[in-house]
Amino acid sequence: MCGIVGIVGHSPVAPLILDALKRLEYRGYDSAGVATIEHGQLSRRRAEGKLVNLERRLKEEPLDGMIGIGHTRWATHGVPNETNAHPHFSDGVAIVHNGIIENFAELRDELTADGYVFTSQTDTEVVAHLVARELARGATPVEAAHNTLKRLEGAFALAIMFKGDEDMIVGARNGPPLAVGHGESEMFLGSDAIALAPFTNSITYLEDGDWAVVRRNSIAIYDMDGNKVHRKRQQSVGTSFLVDKGNHRHFMEKEIHEQPEVISHTLAHYLDFAGGKAKAFEMPFDFASIDRLSIAACGTAYLAGLISKYWFERYARLPVDIDIASEFRYREMPLSKSSGAMFVSQSGETADTLASLRYCRSGGLKIGSIVNVRESTIARESDAIFPTLAGPEIGVASTKAFTCQLSVLASLAVRAARERGAISADDERTLVRQLSEAPRYASQVLKLDQQIEKVARELAQVRHVLYLGRDTSYPLAMEGALKLKEISYIHAEGYAAGELKHGPIALIDESMPVIVIAPHDRVFEKTVSNMQEVAARGGRIILVTDQKGAKHATVKTMETIVLPDVPELIAPIVYALPIQMLAYFTAVFMGTDVDQPRNLAKSVTVE
Ligand code: M6R
């Protein structure tokens, strides 16, 4: 969740580190810091809050030095303040860290007993002191780093720098990603290739348990036993993008508007529109012979998976188990080799999703993953990847990645349906044509912005919102609630409309807006009955429906947002947009930090 950068360079590195940290700010933005070695001494600047504060600090008091490490933090242990900001120092050792040191309390007690004084509340500081203690005991810097790594439990990525050695950073990875970038007589370390894009696209990814001694003209990678290992150097693709909002106020707004285009690219990758078929890609498992599909993911990606359960079961007659990855990884589900396993992740780095993938792999299952970052750990550990072609998603709230995940999953469901003999060639042609229309409908929905903004103005006045939906609109109701909470901080819940009377109906009164997502589909009449129940109790309904639905809904609403009539298959893709726009405009009215909402980070590499 935090971002790490290290540079062993041949010009002052602080401005370069700051530039790389800007690209990593999506990983955390509670505080940030940079340390360099200037005139043989370790120096650092740290600042609470966003990177602009660190930038200001560096302007006031610049740092010199041709070697340095930097960090942008998402707090796990200790509040986000300057004292807890990285890099952490101990007797000539500087450290930046991403992840959690699980045995830190035990190590802290041991170090305290040895006379080490802790100045922060972080788990990271134990690592700095452990390395320093090894040095004090006579170890070389490389030995000190290696001996320390062997003591650490948990998931971590680290970069360590030593006073007196201006040609070496030690990097280590056990869980969260860490990449080495190769330059001309300079080397880089970064949490991902995006951070290193301005410097190099020649990248070596460390694997779990690897640690590396990175110097200007060499890199040596070892395993935990100290054996040298070889990791291939590769050309990173698609990382030199400009992180730019264009004419939009926020990345989220830009990403919402990019959807017609990126959905179109993604669908074209998986579907042969002219031939009316789902394309036959290399598959990790055979849809025709598996008897179940197991999907695990987190947050919005989980909700995309939940929508796909309806598609795989309805069109392909393939039963789907869908799990929240943080639950799946520990619930000891018996694995059957006749199942396929699929993971969905924008970043491809989410710790719980990755652990679930590894659990399935250990059970001998073949793995497919739907990822947006093709060079991510989840992608690299899968037997086959199904990329979403959403392009970099910078806003913390996932928007275009979600609709692209849905586009991939719908395409795969059509393919599974064909391969399992559940649909005819004509049916397949119809479904492919329907999918091909999704980008056009998405463009039309974007034009409803004024009406949606008007509704958002009302929502910005309330503290609680309920979202209801049935069938594929039920996960979408949860996605609407998730989006609203994360960026506007308004409490929201998404419920299956039929579940209302089993509890949540007690919440309904005149102050509670209820957003009902109800295309005129097979369950529309049932949803109308649930709306009646809300209306009878004075609830204020905001109905998101289509032209047919607006005509047939016999309930008084506070507002009806009317979308075009769309085929049932693509409704979740199209209806995702008004839901995102509603959350976006509400957050703008609330004046929150839309792209970097409080307490969140884009990539969640800790448990
Ligand atoms: O990178 P991933 O898709 O694995 O991330 C999963 C969730 O952390 C993510 O979808 C999160 O829920 C979003 N902030 C929601 O907008």
pLDDT above 70 as % of the chain: 99
CA of 109 to the centre of ligand 1 (A): 36
Mutation test residue for ligand 1: of 398, 399, 584, the one with most atoms within 8 Å of CB: 398
Q: In the chain, which segments carry CATH 3.60.20.10? A: 3-246
Q: In the chain, which segments carry CATH 3.40.50.10490? A: 254-436, 443-590
Query: Any idea which residue has 């250990």 for tokens?
Result: 362
Ligand 1: which atom is nearest the Cα of residue 604?
Answer: 8
pLDDT tens digits along 251-295: 999 999 999 989 998 999 999 998 999 999 889 999 999 999 999
Nearest-angstrom CA–CA distance, 576 and 476: 7
Mutation test residue for ligand 1: of 352, 408, 604, 605, the one with most atoms within 8 Å of CB: 604
Question: 254-436 has which fold?
Answer: Rossmann fold (3.40.50)
pLDDT tens digits along 352-389: 999 999 999 999 999 999 999 988 899 999 999 999 99
Supply 502's token pair: 């089993």
Q: What is the mean pLDDT of the chain?
A: 94
pLDDT tens digits along 492-529: 999 999 999 999 899 999 889 999 999 999 999 999 99
The answer, yes or no, to whether residue 238 has pLDDT greater than 90, is no
Mutation test residue for ligand 1: of 350, 476, 580, the one with most atoms within 8 Å of CB: 350
- Kind plus residue range of the DSSP H or E element containing 405: helix 400-419
pLDDT tens digits along 34-92: 999 998 999 999 999 999 999 999 999 999 999 999 999 988 888 889 999 999 999 99
Model pLDDT, residue 589: 97
Q: Which has the closest alpha carbon to 28: 65, 3, 46, 4?
A: 3
Do residues 484 and 533 touch, judged by C-beta distance below 8 A? Answer: no
Ligand 1 site, residue 388, Cβ cutoff 6 A: no
Residue 298 annotated as catalytic: no
pLDDT tens digits along 159-177: 999 999 999 999 999 988 8
Do residues 5 and 20 touch, judged by C-beta distance below 8 A? Answer: yes
Supply 471's token pair: 């069938």
CA of 483 to the centre of ligand 1 (A): 11
Q: What's the 3-state SS for 424-464?
A: CHHHHHHHHHHHHCHHHHHHHHHCCHHHHHHHHHHHCCCCE
CA of 304 to the centre of ligand 1 (A): 11
Give the model's confidence band at 23: pLDDT under 50 very low, under 70 low, under 90 confident, else very high. Answer: confident
Q: Which has the closest alpha carbon to 242: 178, 197, 181?
A: 197
Ligand 1 site, residue 347, Cβ cutoff 6 A: yes
Distance of CA 402 to CAs 300, 323, 570, Å? 7, 17, 13
Average pLDDT over residues 318-337: 93
Model pLDDT, residue 243: 59
Ligand 1 site, residue 580, Cβ cutoff 6 A: no
The answer, yes or no, to whether residue 240 has pLDDT greater than 60, is no
The answer, yes or no, to whether residue 239 has pLDDT greater than 60, is no
Strands 540-546 and 513-517: parallel
- Between 158 and 555, name the one with better pLDDT: 158
Neighbours of 222 (CB within 10 A): 20
Residue 485 annotated as catalytic: no
Ligand 1 site, residue 478, Cβ cutoff 6 A: no
Model pLDDT, residue 103: 93
Nearest-angstrom CA–CA distance, 126 and 107: 7
Ligand 1 site, residue 353, Cβ cutoff 6 A: yes
Burial of 337 (0-12, 13-18, 19+ CB in 10 A): exposed
CA of 537 to the centre of ligand 1 (A): 35
Task: Return the DSSP state at 167.
Answer: T
CA of 399 to the centre of ligand 1 (A): 10
Give the model's confidence band at 236: pLDDT under 50 very low, under 70 low, under 90 confident, else very high. Answer: confident
Ligand 1: which atom is nearest the Cα of residue 396?
Answer: 14
Average pLDDT over residues 566-592: 98
Distance of CA 169 to CAs 95, 138, 166, 186, 213, Å? 10, 19, 9, 12, 6
Average pLDDT over residues 408-432: 98
Q: Which has the closest alpha carbon to 597: 504, 484, 517, 446?
A: 484
Model pLDDT, residue 75: 84
**C-alpha angle 268/482/592, rounded to 5°?**
105
Long-range contacts formed by 520-524: CB under 8 A, 24+ apart: 520/545, 520/546, 520/548, 520/549, 520/552, 520/565, 521/471, 521/473, 521/568, 521/571, 522/471, 522/568, 523/470, 523/471, 524/549, 524/552
Identify the residue whose C-alpha is closest to ligand 1 atom 7.
Answer: 299
Nearest-angstrom CA–CA distance, 371 and 58: 36
Q: What is the CATH number of domain 3-246?
A: 3.60.20.10
Average pLDDT over residues 229-256: 80
Ligand 1 site, residue 345, Cβ cutoff 6 A: yes
Ligand 1: which atom is nearest the Cα of residue 602?
Answer: 14
CA of 522 to the centre of ligand 1 (A): 30
Model pLDDT, residue 73: 92
Among 309, 400, 483, 602, the active-site one is: 602
Query: Any idea which residue has 């790490």 for tokens?
Result: 4
Supply 14's token pair: 């602080």
Question: 443-590 has which fold?
Answer: Rossmann fold (3.40.50)
Q: Which residue type, as a one-letter code, is found at position 22?
A: K
Identify the residue whose C-alpha is closest to ligand 1 atom 11.
Answer: 299
Task: Return the DSSP state at 228.
Answer: B
Give the model's confidence band at 599: pLDDT under 50 very low, under 70 low, under 90 confident, else very high. Answer: confident
Supply 119's token pair: 């100045």
Model pLDDT, residue 237: 63
CA of 118 to the centre of ligand 1 (A): 34
The answer, yes or no, to whether residue 192 has pLDDT greater than 70, is yes
Dump the DSSP string for 571-585.
HHHHHHHHHHHHHHH
Neighbours of 183 (CB within 10 A): 16
Ligand 1 site, residue 298, Cβ cutoff 6 A: yes
Strands 179-182 and 202-205: antiparallel
Among 2, 298, 360, 404, the active-site one is: 2
Identify the residue whose C-alpha is closest to ligand 1 atom 8.
Answer: 299
Do residues 340 and 351 touch, judged by C-beta distance below 8 A? Answer: no
